Amino acid sequence: LDRQIQSWIDLLCSGDARALARAISTVENRGPGWVALLKALFPHTGRARVIGITGPPGAGKSTLVDRLAKLYRKMKNPSPSRQARGFDGAPDDDRYRVGIIAVDPTSPYTGGAILGDRIRMQDHFADPGIYIRSMATRGSLGGLARTTADVTTVLDAAGRDLILIETVGVGQDEIDIVRLADITVVILVPGMGDDVQMIKAGIMEIADIFVINKSDRDGAERVEREIRALQMLAARHDGWTPPIVKTVASEGRGVTELAAAVAAYDSYLEKEGRALKKRVENWQERLVEMLRDVMLEKARAHFGDGSMARLATEIAEHKLDPYTVVEEIAARVAK
C-alpha cells in the first residue's frame, strides 16, 4: 500500500489532474487511506497562497474568481515551485497555477473544469493551469470547513500556487473556511440594504480586502462610505487598513487592481513574520478541531450510536447525571 500511495503522490505532485481529482475525492469522502494520504502530502505543502473570497449570494464571486484566475494565468510567477517539470503538458510552466474550490456553488465557471457532468466534457478545451473543484456537500463527513482545509492541502501539494476558495458568506462554516485562508477578500455590492447588518456581524472583521462589485450600479460610493465608517469604529489590531477595490467583474473591470491589492497584502504579510503568525493561529484552531473529531469518533466507536441515545434518555429521565457519564466515557476513550 505504501508504494501505491507513493506513486500516486508522485503523479499528483507532477500535476496529473486525474491523480488530483482522485486524491480530492478520497479526502472529501474520507475514503480508505485518506489520513495516510494527507500525512504523505503534508511535507509537500506550505507553498500555496490561499485566498478566501466571500460575500452574499449573487454578489459576483464566481465571476470575479474566474476573472482573477485567468489574470493570474497570464502573470509570471516569480518563484515557481516546480520549475520545468512539465505541468500537465502545459508549456507555460512559469505562470501561476491556480486551484479553485467553490463551496456550495450555484453558478458555473468558464476558466477550467466546469461544475456538473453536463459541461465536464469541456475539460479538454480548458486550461489545465486552472483546476476547479466544487464542494456542494453540506454536512460533509469531516465538516465543511475541515474538508475544505484538507482539499486545500491536496491542491497545495499538487503544485497550485494560488488557491481561491469561494464561499457564500453567511454561516459559521463559511467564516471557518475563510479563516484558513492567508488572504480574505469580502465582496459587497450596492443596494444590499439589510445585508449590511449581516456583514457587520461576522464578515467585517475577517476582511483583508474589500471589493465593491457591480460598481456599474448606483450606490457603490455609498457602500464605500459605509465600509470606511465601520473601519473608523473598529480599527484592526495589526494596523492594516483593508483597501476597498471597486470592480465590475462581468466586464473584468478592477480585476487588475484587485490582484494588486492582494499582492500588497501579501508583501505586508511577509513582513515581521505575520504570515507565519497567522498560520500558527489557524493551526491552533484546526488542531483543536481535529482532536475533537478523533476523540468523538473514538467515543462513538466505543459506544455505538444507539447507546448515546440510550444514555441521553436516561439523563433526560434523571436516572443518570451527564457529568458522570461524560467522565466515564472520557476515561474509557483515554485507555
Ligand X SMILES: Nc1nc2c(ncn2[C@@H]2O[C@H](COP(=O)(O)OP(=O)(O)OP(=O)(O)O)[C@@H](O)[C@H]2O)c(=O)[nH]1
Residues that bind ligand X (CB under 6 A): 57-63, 105-107, 168, 213-214, 216-217, 248-250
Task: Output 158 or 185, the one with its CB closest to ligand X.
Answer: 185
Binding mask 146-185 for Mg ion (x = CB under 5 A): ----------------------------------------
- Contact between 77 and Mg ion per CB under 5 A: no
Residue 153 corresponds to which cell in the numbers above?
492541502
CB 243 within 8 A of CB 264: yes
Window contacting Mg ion (CB under 5 A); options: 90-98, 100-108, 242-250, 306-314: 100-108
Task: Output 26 or 184, the one with its CB closest to ligand X.
Answer: 184
Residue 261 corresponds to which cell in the numbers above?
491589492
Q: Residues touching Mg ion: how many (CB under 5 A)? A: 4
Cα separation, 281 vs 278, in Å, equals 5
Task: Output 37 or 187, the one with its CB closest to Mg ion.
Answer: 187
Find the shortest distance in angstroms from Cβ 116 to Mg ion: 13
- Contact between 107 and Mg ion per CB under 5 A: yes
The number of residues in the chain equals 335
Cα separation, 39 vs 280, in Å, equals 18
Find the shortest distance in angstroms from Cβ 174 to ligand X: 11
Task: Output 118 or 319, the one with its CB closest to ligand X.
Answer: 118
Task: Output 220 or 329, the one with its CB closest to ligand X.
Answer: 220
Find the shortest distance in angstroms from Cβ 166 to ligand X: 6
Beta carbons within 10 angstroms of residue 78's beta carbon: 7
Of residues 141, 44, 48, 139, the one with CA closest to residue 101: 48
- Contact between 62 and Mg ion per CB under 5 A: yes
Find the shortest distance in angstroms from Cβ 236 to Mg ion: 27
Find the shortest distance in angstroms from Cβ 102 to Mg ion: 6
Residue 87: phi, psi to the nearest 5? -100, 100
CB 245 within 8 A of CB 279: no
Find the shortest distance in angstroms from Cβ 105 to Mg ion: 5
Task: Output 20 or 135, the one with its CB closest to ligand X.
Answer: 135
Q: Which does 250 bind (CB under 5 to 8 A by kind): Mg ion, ligand X, none?
A: ligand X
Largest CA distance in the chain: 70
Task: Output 12 or 101, the one with its CB closest to ligand X.
Answer: 101
**Contacts of Mg ion in 229-268 (CB under 5 A):** none
The string over 221-234, giving b where at least 16 C-beta atoms fall within 10 Å of a residue's C-beta and e elsewhere, is: eebbebbeebbeee
Q: Which does 266 bind (CB under 5 to 8 A by kind): Mg ion, ligand X, none?
A: none
DSSP states along 5-34: HHHHHHHHHTT-HHHHHHHHHHHHTT-TTH
The string over 170-194, giving b where at least 16 C-beta atoms fall within 10 Å of a residue's C-beta and e elsewhere, is: beebbbbbbbbbbbbbbbbbbebee
Residue of closest CB approach to Mg ion = 62
Window contacting Mg ion (CB under 5 A); options: 1-9, 40-48, 53-61, 242-250: 53-61
3 state SS of 257:
helix
Strand partners, 166: 53, 102
Find the shortest distance in angstroms from Cβ 153 to Mg ion: 23
Find the shortest distance in angstroms from Cβ 134 to Mg ion: 10
Residue 42 corresponds to which cell in the numbers above?
503534508
3 state SS of 238:
coil
Residues that bind Mg ion (CB under 5 A): 61-62, 105, 107
